[in-house]
Amino acid sequence: MNHMKRETNTKHRRINITLLQKTVELIDRVCKKGNRSRLIDEAVRDYLTKTSRAVLRKRLKEGAIRDAEQDLAIAEEWFPLEEEAWQKIGKR
């Protein structure tokens, strides 16, 4: 909590949560007394950041797979024009 007291510009809100006894014991083993809130806050933020990135990665992958045939068709259609342009540039 000392860390929280030093953050003068950050708002905090007290909430009531329920955790398994084993979870509380684990938290108490890895952090100093009075730092539970900070540990839980950091863990939740880390989890949400990783989850958000995973969801984004999944959506991008699904979109790439869904659009692969169309993207390939467009690339094949434009390839001769691009090849011609590169040949003209190479002759300069």
pLDDT in tens, 16-46: 999 999 999 999 999 988 899 999 999 999 9
CA 51 – CA 43 distance, rounded (Å): 12
Does residue 4 surpass a pLDDT of 80? Answer: no
Helix (H) or strand (E) holding 69: helix 36-90
Categorize the per-residue pLDDT at 89 as very low, low, confident or very high, splitting at 50, 70 and 90.
confident
In a 3-state reduction of DSSP, which class is residue 18? coil
CA 44 – CA 39 distance, rounded (Å): 9
* pTM of structure: 0.54
